[in-house]
Amino acid sequence: MNYEKIENLTEDIILRSYVEGSRQISNLFLALAASLGGFGFFLAGISSFLKINLLLFSDSTDISFIPQGIALTFYGTIGIILGIFLLLTIWWNVGYGYNEYDKNQRLITIYRKGYPGKKRKLKLQFSFQDVKSIKLRITEGLNPRRQLFLCLKDSREIPLIGIDQPLALTKIENEAINLAKYLNIYLETD
């Protein structure tokens, strides 16, 4: 995460970190693969029904429509719908946002974008008095996770970073330490 320091009129500063949304190359590749694969399955199923070859790279007219052609058409339709959903999620940049820490107002603001609708923008604000600690949760193994949470006194844990790409261990540890120092609160590990 990149931190941006915003100078205030007084000597204190506002610290802001940005969180990536769904606009990433890996998500775009996955959306295109699902769309193209689904389209291929759909054309193969329709080719088996019409007995006309609609595919350039293979002949699917020999496939019987019941049950193979129906299954191909169904899976193709699901693949196309999934691909469109992923492309729309990338277009809307779901998950993008920032965390802002303001020492002057003693306020923490967490902003994220969601899906279109009445509640597309999620904006949470917490007072410094409501914050208990910063929690660092590290899980190693086949699916490693490195998460950073803002722990409140009422036992809520608010995630501060995305979970899609694990950050380097030293980077997330330094980030947790610097944030705990900036907010003057404890750092927990889990």
Q: Tens digits of per-residue pLDDT, 106-132? A: 999 999 999 999 989 999 999 999 999
Is the pLDDT confidence value at 49 over 50?
A: yes
Query: Given this model, what pLDDT does residue 3 score?
Result: 55
Any residues with CB less than 8 A from the CB of 110 and at least 6 apart, and which?
97, 98, 99, 100, 122, 123, 124, 125, 126, 150, 158, 160
Is the pLDDT confidence value at 46 over 90?
A: yes
Query: Given this model, what pLDDT does residue 114 score?
Result: 93
Is the pLDDT confidence value at 175 over 90?
A: no
* H helix intervals, 141-190: 169-183
Name the band, by pLDDT with cuts 50, 70 and 90, for residue 34: very high
Count CB-CB contacts under 10 A for residue 86: 19
Alpha-carbon separation of residue 156 from 62, 149, 175, 188 (angstroms): 59, 9, 20, 14
CA neighbor of 19 nearest in space, from 138, 109, 131: 109
Query: Given this model, what pLDDT does residue 164 score?
Result: 63
Mean of per-residue pLDDT scores for the chain: 88
Ramachandran sector of residue 51 (left: φ over 0; alpha: ψ -120 to 50; beta: rest)? left
Query: Given this model, what pLDDT does residue 27 score?
Result: 92
For the segment(s) 3-21+94-189, the CATH number from 3.40.50.970, 2.30.29.30, 1.10.10.10, 3.30.530.20 is 2.30.29.30
Question: What are 78-109's pLDDT values in tens digits?
Answer: 999 999 999 999 999 999 999 999 988 999 99
Name the band, by pLDDT with cuts 50, 70 and 90, for residue 1: low
Give the whole-angstrom CA distance, residue 30 versus residue 51: 31
Is the pLDDT confidence value at 70 over 50?
A: yes
Query: Given this model, what pLDDT does residue 58 score?
Result: 83
Which position has the token pair 């967490």?
A: 110
User: CATH 2.30.29.30 residue ranges in the chain?
Assistant: 3-21+94-189
Any residues with CB less than 8 A from the CB of 155 and at least 6 apart, and which?
none
Is residue 175 within 8 Å of 185, Cβ to Cβ?
Answer: no
* Mean pLDDT computed over 33-62: 91
* Mean pLDDT computed over 26-51: 94
Query: Given this model, what pLDDT does residue 146 score?
Result: 85
Most confidently modeled range among 58-72, 74-88, 127-141: 74-88
* Mean pLDDT computed over 150-170: 84
